[in-house]
Amino acid sequence: MVWQVQMFVQNSLANGRMKPKHRKGVQMRIAFPSHAGIRRSRPLVMPIKWIPPDEPWVKLNTNGAFFEETSKAGGGRIVQDHAGKVLAAFATPLEAHSAFEAEHLVIHHGLVIASEFRLTIWVESDAAQTVRLLNGPDWGPAHLCRIMALLANHKCNFTIRASFIHREGNKPTYLAKMGLNGVDFQRMNGCSLPRHLKAMARLDEMGVPNLRIQEED
């Protein structure tokens, strides 16, 4: 900033707009602060975009939830085609003892429904460890063996791929909360979705991303 002021003064003197008497007694110097300023963290904004599957695949987005205080679990899943059209959506309570177990169980139920539309299914979840297990040969912890056996059977019968998506782009997060607080299995389609989910699905069809905001490390 100081050098900019100096350049302004020099240019003004050169073109005659400022006379030497105008800067009489004025000294140009830099004043350094006595202590380092506090650098405040700034939020980082990342666009999260839902990518439709290639035809003839369908995409199954899932989310499982577990509330320790009540030991209740719930899950939600939504099935969409290559154009982003919602083929089916579900919210249901689950018999699970952790969020990790709920994540795997909701994928199993989602694959059963998604297979009504295609046998090529792209699973998408915001649980990174669940995605790694689904893509790999391991079965994970012992308490997941029953569910992993069911998923292994699905992998034999269907063509399955799995990928991670941040929570901000995963619509079933809201359906999982409905399942957590509900008592019955609820099946929906594109017309009967809750209004805010219908709006999210429409934005997906239009290619509009969601925003993920996190504090800078």
Q: Locate the DSSP E strands across the chain.
A: 43-48, 58-67, 72-80, 86-94, 120-125, 159-164, 186-188, 210-215
Distances (CA, A) of 100 to 105, 125, 128, 155, 197: 9, 12, 10, 20, 24
Looking at the fold, whether 172 and 72 belong to one and the same domain comes out as: yes
Residue in the block written with tokens 């979705």: 193
Looking at the fold, whether 5 and 106 belong to one and the same domain comes out as: no
The reported pTM is 0.77
pLDDT in tens, the chain (217 residues): 545 555 665 666 666 665 666 556 666 565 656 666 666 667 788 888 899 999 899 999 999 999 988 889 999 999 999 999 999 999 999 999 999 999 999 999 999 999 999 999 999 999 999 999 999 988 888 889 999 999 999 999 999 999 999 988 888 888 998 898 888 899 999 899 988 888 888 888 888 888 888 766 5
Nearest to 125 by CA among 141, 144, 104, 140: 104
Question: Cα–Cα distance between 119 and 37 in angstroms, integer?
Answer: 59
Looking at the fold, whether 2 and 102 belong to one and the same domain comes out as: no
Give Cβ neighbours of residue 24 (< 8 Å, ≥ 6 apart).
Answer: none
For position 102, which CATH number holds? 3.30.420.10
Residue 4 in any domain: the answer is yes
The whole domain housing 25 covers 1-32
Residue 67 in any domain: the answer is yes
